[in-house]
Chain A
Amino acid sequence: MFVIIMGCGRLGAELATILENDGHEIAILDIDKYAFDHLPPAFKGKRILGDGTDQDTLRKTGAERADAFVAATRGDNRNALASQIALHVFNIRRVGSVIFDPLREEIYHELGLRTINPTKIEAQLLRESIEREEP
């Protein structure tokens, strides 16, 4: 698959690395050029300095032939806008969005986005690690 990832923070860079190791073609976007330092030196995908909520930038990145899009910045609203552009303007079928605010995540999930809420997942994992009996 050709996957576009918006946001090259720790999460975006980690996802890009895993997906590339799985054999996928990756283009990763960020508005901060230093963000690409999160990628390992061996990363072969495209690094694109630009705003993933801008339709022209996405088009130049190849959104018209993308198989999947992931919005993984720290900004919920930014992720929601980019995902809806990917879905409705470029008709990308697989669109994942990170939404940190649990309430906002619920609403966007109802509005048809494939949302991931790190806050809920992390809280759940932390709870499990605390409640687990000592071996």
Chain B
Amino acid sequence: MFIVIGGGGKVGYHLARALIADHEVLVIEQDPARVEFIGEDLGSDVIMQGDACDAATMERAGMERADLVVAVTGEDQDNLTFCQIAKARFHVDRAVARINNPQNESLFRQLGIDSTVSATQLIMGHIEQELPWQGLIQLLTLGGLDLEIVEVRVPREAHTVGKPIKQLLLPQGALICLVIDNEGQPRLPTPETTIKAEDILVAVTSIEGEESLRNALTSPVP
């Protein structure tokens, strides 16, 4: 695949380094010092100096034959513009954007960005898991489908403990796809599978349904 990465900061650099063995990769970066560093480390054909949101720069980058663009700058507005121009002007199939302000996630999806990755959201998920009320970790959002895969740990006091899956009232469209017990043994759930305390559940849900799924699985016995 030909992958164009917008932004040659830490994320862009490490991403390029990881992809370079199997793909044709080009990083577009404005800062000459970063351009020089990446050029020396990964090769001068991997980096291009310029404004990634400038249509002329994109044309020079060969954007019309890109299979995938990934926007990873620290500014949401730059990531959005890069992806929107790549899709609207150069008909790039897939655009992945890093989200810095988690509030922008659903807007980006609504505007046609295929996948979004929010470090803030991921870290929040992990912190929330440590808190007594138990949270939910977003593992992955599915391209163009408004669906995500999440991980939920069942707290000891949850009303779901001891119930078979068929008795759970899950929100519309949510599906439990994997149950991992506290010994780390994964099982494919059936309607009869009983939820135990400390089970890790991997589920698919709509992004809007996330909060109700969390409540359905983790709220304590009333």
State the A residues within 8 Å of B (CB): 53-56, 75-78, 80-82, 84-85, 88-89, 101, 103-104, 107-108, 110-111
Residues of B within 8 A of A103 (CB): 54-56
Q: How far is the CA of A89 from the CA of B108 in the complex (A)?
A: 11
Q: Per a CB cutoff under 8 Å, which of A55, A80, A88, A110 touches B81?
A: A80
The residue of chain B having its C-beta at the shortest distance from the C-beta of A85 within the complex is B107
Q: Are A107 and B84 in contact (CB under 8 A)?
A: yes
Q: Please classify the interface of chain B as helix (H, G, I), strand (E, B), loop, or mixed, using the class held by over half of its residues.
A: helix
Q: How far is the CA of A55 from the CA of B101 in the complex (A)?
A: 9
The residue of chain A having its C-beta at the shortest distance from the C-beta of B75 within the complex is A77
Q: Are A107 and B89 in contact (CB under 8 A)?
A: yes
B124 within 8 A of A: no
Residues of A within 8 A of B107 (CB): 84-85, 88-89
| Number of CB contacts from chain A to chain B under 8 A | 57
Question: Which residues of chain B (95-141) have a CB below 8 Å from chain A?
Answer: 101, 103-104, 107, 110-111
B53 within 8 A of A: yes
The residue of chain B having its C-beta at the shortest distance from the C-beta of A80 within the complex is B81
Q: What is the minimal beta-carbon distance from A24 to any residue of chain B, in angstroms? A: 27
When A101-B54, A104-B55, A107-B88 are in contact, do A84 and B81 touch as well, CB less than 8 Å?
A: no
Q: Are B110 and A53 in contact (CB under 8 A)?
A: no
The residue of chain A having its C-beta at the shortest distance from the C-beta of B58 within the complex is A103
State the B residues within 8 Å of A (CB): 53-56, 75-78, 80-81, 84-85, 88-89, 101, 103-104, 107, 110-111
Q: Please classify the interface of chain A as helix (H, G, I), strand (E, B), loop, or mixed, using the class held by over half of its residues.
A: helix
Q: How far is the CA of A27 from the CA of B55 in the complex (A)?
A: 33
Q: Are A81 and B88 in contact (CB under 8 A)?
A: no
Residues of B within 8 A of A78 (CB): 77
Q: What is the minimal beta-carbon distance from B104 to any residue of chain A, in angstroms? A: 8
Q: Are B84 and A111 in contact (CB under 8 A)?
A: yes
Q: How far is the CA of A126 from the CA of B89 in the complex (A)?
A: 30
Q: Are B88 and A110 in contact (CB under 8 A)?
A: yes
Q: How far is the CA of A55 from the CA of B110 in the complex (A)?
A: 15
Q: How far is the CA of A76 from the CA of B56 in the complex (A)?
A: 15
Q: How far is the CA of A76 from the CA of B53 in the complex (A)?
A: 10
Which 6 residue pairs of A and B lie closest in terms of their CB atoms, listed nearest first?
A77-B77, A81-B77, A103-B55, A77-B81, A55-B103, A78-B77
